[in-house]
Amino acid sequence: MLLRKVGFSPVLSTALRLAPSATGSARPTESSLFTYNGRLYASQAAEAVLDKHATGSETATKTSTDKKTSDLESKSFAVNMFKGQISTAQVFPFPSVMNEEQTQFLSELVGPVAKFFETVNDPMKNDELEKVEDGTMEGLKEMGAFGLQVPSHLGGLGLTNTQYARLVEIVGMHDLGVGITLGAHQSIGFKGILLFGNKQQKEKYLPKLATGETIAAFCLTEPSSGSDAASIKTVAVQSDCGQYFTLSGGKIWISNGGLAEIFTVFAKTPVKDKTTGEVKDKITAFIVERGFGGVTHGPPEKKMGIKASNTAEVHFDAVRVPLENVLGEVGGGFKVAMNILNNGRFGMAAALSGTMKGVISKAVDHAANRTQFGNKIHNFGVIQEKVARMAMMQYVTESMAYMISANMDMGASEFQIEAAISKIFASEAAWTVTDECIQIMGGMGFMKDAGVERVMRDLRIFRIFEGTNDILRLFVALNGFQNAGKQLKGLQHALKNPIGNAGFLAGEISKRAKRKAGLSSGLSLHGTVHPELAESGELLVKAIEQFGGVVEDQLLKHGKKIVDEQFVLKRVSDSAIDLYAMVVVLSRASRSLSQGHSSAQHEKVLCETWCLEAHDRIVNDMKALQSSSSKRLFKNLRSISTAVVENGGVVSPHPLGF
Amino acid sequence: MNCTRSLMLARVLAALGPRSPAPLSPCALYTASAGLFRSKHASLGQRVTRLPSRCFNSSARRPDAKPAPSSERSDQERESSHTGAGKTLVTYEDLFERAARDSRTKATFTRVLEVFCKEDVRRRGHVEFIYAALKKMPEFGVEGDLSVYNKLLDVFPKEVFVPRNYIQRMFNHYPRQQECGVQLLEHMENYGVMPNVETKVLLVQIFGEKGHPMRKYQRLMYWFPRFKHVNPYPVPRELPRDPVDLARLSLQRIAGDLDARVTVYEMPSTDLSESGEDSSQLYVVGIQSPDQQTLFSKHNPERPVFVEGPFPLWLKKTCVYYYTLRADPLPPEEKVEEPVDPERSFFYPLELDLDLDRELGDDDDFDVDEVEEGPVFAMCMASSGDQATLSKWISGLQKTNPILGRTPTVFRLNSGPREIQTSSEPERKEDEDLLQSREMTQ
């Protein structure tokens, strides 16, 4: 309804004619006539991430040529920093991918959406009812919030990742419960259809899903299987005629499980290996309709936070799924799941940067108005430090979210490490920021009426779901090590033929010699960062050099067994996160400075402060990893944990003796 | 230590020399000290026991143990005491031998002790008697009984050997008695018997607070409680009598896998052989864990498996024998390393695709040389180690491991240290077709 007002603008007219099609009859014949070129690009942005053979718009072809070069040398900053190199292609200058139309379209959307959440949606009531109010739900559907990234010819708004991030940020600022309902629906629920679905599947399901007529859910987790695909117990057996699968099994903690009509379900299917003829259990993704029969769900789970969203068990009892509902290939479910998860993470960072924004304004409001000892409390140093840190974290998260969404829109294929980093950083930063907000507000923050405790409860799950932060840390570190290892192998290979590779070797050897001697190895961000930020740029370069050296040392030290060195991996990924955070703020602050934004000086201070502290953290971690004391520390930690586990709790007796 | 001790002994003897009936020559002194230390020298032992005792106090603990009227003694006891008195060690052993004529039990053993105590107020020859008793303890089956040790300790006269002044304390006071006390405690130690407070009270009464036996006691009490639960899988005190139960117990100990399943392939009672002879000896008990089963199912049926044995397993003093079904270690060219499924973890790689050359300095792990052995698929215990009995086990195993039907089985049996049943004749009544399906070679 709110969108209707916006709909008078010419840009929006097509989107709106398609979006609220309650009958779901928006057929591509008509809509494609109205589709802009830009729109086409936008709708393909989500897909472009997967395969680069997109046709049509010139931008898409451009990305495909880019891709060819990137096959040889990765452009991802995160991949390169593990090699001790700096790749500025994706991060400098801070990317802006939206064309004018897209920008205008988005800016026209932002206002009404924000207004909707301010006036219509009542997060407290949602939390109390443990469901999103029906009115709000209807409003969201009418706005098209359920099909933000569905191509416009299929009835969605066809937003790019960047546009999506901007809207999700607003949702996150106001109500994470609603955010989860929307996210579980489109970020993971039907993302599979968007990414991997064939034409028929898209045309069959997406129009109804885009309008919110049907709701989607993503069914992966099982009682016995969290991150371990091998322990998935749900099975799908192909019929003798090959025309359908019989799917049986139970999934737990499914967001929207009680509301959804369409499920993306992952199940094991026996698949015959084409070359060896061996039959193996492989994961396949299915689109399952509730209407197929045999789909039941449990009562809504009682949760700590995000109460407004529906979470339930879903059971599949001999559900007959036709062959055409297989998503991707039979046996290709793992790839489907991986891509859905990888593609959805940036949204979390965007939503949480919004949450932080909201929480910070509450904290600042309190700090500016509360008087103690005849002084406003924002004048006290401890409060100032808190506020400053909160602002820094929000700035970093926001920069990360839009950097990654822009990279994805540019058609980058390597954004997985960055996306994982953004999820880890955002969820932890949001937790800290909200915690500090409650601290600043004191007793007031602890009360329900302040509305921050709900945010705190809602936030907790973000460090857990879609890959816990601990597991994603392993992902970040191991992915980095894999890439660094490949490069090192290349170097070792070159060493076998020193004469033929003289030039390459000379460079590498001098780089290492310089690193050993503590000199700069010639990396520089000179000319890429704004001159006013040169000092922070130096810090980043130094940190990367040290980081690259340690990564190489650890690789040589542990070889393949680095996989089992989780104490090391954790520290390496912590540093990787800090490094990436440094580069995104440097990039963003540089842009603001060079564009002469009014806030440029403020951003410069944010950036400098962040870089100072992050550099120190990285240097400390790297030093610790190289010293022998870390070995002892890890051994101690391991032994303490073993003792406590063996004892089934703390080992030491009570100080009072009983 | 030894030197100083024997020196001290020599001095004691020298000091006592003039008062002793037969003064010791330097040469005899040497042997005396050596013999004392070993406390095996019978003749010297006598000499020392003849050293005059100053006084005699009976145990405060047992006032009723005072010399009883001789009329109370039975004839047999008198006879034994007559033969025992003044004679050498052997006589004390005879005492036990005679008592053992009826039965070798705790009751008879303690009766001998009581008789000895009642016989003579001075308990003459108690050291020899205690040594003899210690030697006989295992025969009477009381080597693990604390109360018997305490009774035996009670044979020592009380307070006689307690040093009274610092000189006595400084030199080895009544060395032979102390040595005997230490030996007794050592005997306890060897059989894992932990002393109790009564032992301590007795030792204090006999040798005083600081005597060598008391030190030994303290050492025992320091270490024993520490080692009491050192073995988390103790062998039960009483082993089961039933051979099947015993086999079950021992197999479970070998397997070390709680999931392993014990199967009794042949019960002793069920098998009544056609000739009607007593074949209750026959049993086959096997064990196999699920891991072994899956390992076996992956075995290449072209390679033979071996039944090997017997291998000994000691459960305390009982030795049992077991047999294994195993294969040769895989030759390196057939080894397939199970690759980690790349589609296993949704969130992070479980394995890195790395193949780095590493220099010596890079790798700081220890170099461990591993010797590979062939996999063991199952184990069993049988009443006899002949091929016929063991093939019952193999045919039983085949039901749960169908691959065994396609795999040649080779029996590689040693004759083993055990005399394999002399009377057992191979009973070939198991399914011939099963056996034929297998190539059997010896």
* Residue A511: pLDDT band with limits 50, 70, 90: confident
A283 inside 8 A of chain B by CB: yes
Closest chain A residue to the Cα of B342, Cα to Cα: A334
* Residue A227: pLDDT band with limits 50, 70, 90: confident
**pLDDT score recorded for residue A32:** 39
* Residue B422: pLDDT band with limits 50, 70, 90: very low
* Residue A280: pLDDT band with limits 50, 70, 90: confident
Mean pLDDT of A115-143: 94
Other CB atoms within a 10 A radius of the CB of residue A177 amount to 26
* Residue B388: pLDDT band with limits 50, 70, 90: confident
**pLDDT score recorded for residue A497:** 78
**Residue A280 β-bridge partners:** A271
DSSP A120-162: T--HHHHHHHTS--HHHHHHHHHHTGGGTTS-GGGTS----HH
Closest chain A residue to the Cα of B362, Cα to Cα: A557
Flag the least confident range among A466-470, A574-578, B16-20.
B16-20
**pLDDT score recorded for residue B50:** 42
Q: Please check the confidence at residue A87 and state whether its pLDDT lies above 80.
A: yes
**Predicted confidence (pLDDT) per residue in B172-195, tens digit:** 899 999 999 999 999 999 988 999
**pLDDT score recorded for residue B359:** 64
Tell me which residue in A227, A474, A492 faces B356 most closely, judged by beta carbons.
Answer: A492
B222 inside 8 A of chain A by CB: no
Q: Is the peptide bond before B310 cis (omega within 30 degrees of 0)?
A: yes
Closest chain A residue to the Cα of B358, Cα to Cα: A556
**Predicted confidence (pLDDT) per residue in B78-95, tens digit:** 444 444 444 454 577 788
Flag the least confident range among A250-254, A406-410, B34-38, B345-349.
B34-38
Q: Please check the confidence at residue A536 and state whether its pLDDT lies above 70.
A: yes
Flag the least confident range among A69-78, A540-549, A630-639, B95-104.
A69-78
A271 inside 8 A of chain B by CB: no
* Residue B361: pLDDT band with limits 50, 70, 90: low
Surface-to-core class of residue A131, CB atoms within 10 Å of its CB (0-12 exposed, 13-18 middle, 19+ buried) = buried
Q: Please check the confidence at residue A118 and state whether its pLDDT lies above 70.
A: yes
Tell me which residue in A337, A474, A482 faces B353 most closely, judged by beta carbons.
Answer: A482
- Contact check, Cβ <8 Å, A560/B351: yes
**pLDDT score recorded for residue A351:** 96
Residue ranges of A 428-487 with Cβ closer than 8 A to chain B: 467, 471-472, 474-475, 478-479, 481-482, 485-486
Confirm whether A301 is a catalytic residue.
no
A336 inside 8 A of chain B by CB: no
ipTM of the prediction: 0.70
**pLDDT score recorded for residue B268:** 60
Residue ranges of A 88-147 with Cβ closer than 8 A to chain B: none
Tell me which residue in A220, A478, A559 faces B348 most closely, judged by beta carbons.
Answer: A478
Tell me which residue in A334, A475, A556 faces B356 most closely, judged by beta carbons.
Answer: A556
3-state secondary structure of A306: coil
Mean pLDDT of B145-161: 92
Distance from CA of B346 to the nearest CA of A (A): 5
DSSP B210-237: TSHHHHHHHHHHHHHHHHTT--SSPPPS
Mean pLDDT of A327-338: 92
Q: Residue A531 corresponds to which tokens in the numbers above? A: 């001159």
Q: Residue B86 corresponds to which tokens in the numbers above? A: 């003044």
Q: Please check the confidence at residue B33 and state whether its pLDDT lies above 50.
A: no
Mean pLDDT of A302-322: 95
A560 inside 8 A of chain B by CB: yes
Closest chain B residue to the Cα of A342, Cα to Cα: B347
B362 inside 8 A of chain A by CB: yes
First-to-last alpha carbon distance for chain A, in angstroms, is 66
Share of chain B above pLDDT 90, in %: 22
First-to-last alpha carbon distance for chain B, in angstroms, is 60
- Contact check, Cβ <8 Å, B346/A229: yes
**Predicted confidence (pLDDT) per residue in A402-450, tens digit:** 999 999 999 988 899 999 999 999 999 999 999 999 999 999 999 999 9
Q: Identify all chain A residues contacting B350, using CB atoms and an 8 Å cutoff.
A: 563
Max CA distance (Å), chain B: 96
* DSSP secondary structure code for residue A642 in this structure: H
Query: Among A319, A299, A321, A323, which Cα is nearest to A311's?
Result: A299
Distance from CA of A91 to the nearest CA of B (A): 24
**Predicted confidence (pLDDT) per residue in A372-385, tens digit:** 999 999 999 999 99
- Contact check, Cβ <8 Å, A337/B346: yes
Q: Identify all chain A residues contacting B298, using CB atoms and an 8 Å cutoff.
A: none
Please tell me which residue in A418, A428, A436, A466 is annotated as part of the active site.
Answer: A466
* Residue B1: pLDDT band with limits 50, 70, 90: very low
Average of per-residue pLDDT values in chain A: 87
* Residue B372: pLDDT band with limits 50, 70, 90: confident
* Residue A519: pLDDT band with limits 50, 70, 90: low
**pLDDT score recorded for residue B364:** 63
Q: Please check the confidence at residue A605 and state whether its pLDDT lies above 90.
A: yes
Closest chain A residue to the Cα of B343, Cα to Cα: A334
**Predicted confidence (pLDDT) per residue in B282-339, tens digit:** 888 999 999 899 889 888 888 899 998 889 898 888 888 999 999 988 887 777 777 7
Distance, in Å, from the CA atom of B46 to the CA atom of B85, rounded to the nearest integer, reads 12
- Contact check, Cβ <8 Å, A334/B343: yes
Closest chain B residue to the Cα of A477, Cα to Cα: B348
Specify the residue for token string 């080692």: B227
- Contact check, Cβ <8 Å, A230/B357: no
Q: Please check the confidence at residue A10 and state whether its pLDDT lies above 80.
A: no
Q: In degrees, to the nearest 5, what angle opens at C-alpha B17 toward C-alphas B14 and B18? A: 130
Q: Please check the confidence at residue A306 and state whether its pLDDT lies above 90.
A: yes
Q: Please check the confidence at residue B441 and state whether its pLDDT lies above 70.
A: no
**pLDDT score recorded for residue A561:** 86
**Predicted confidence (pLDDT) per residue in A24-33, tens digit:** 444 444 443 3
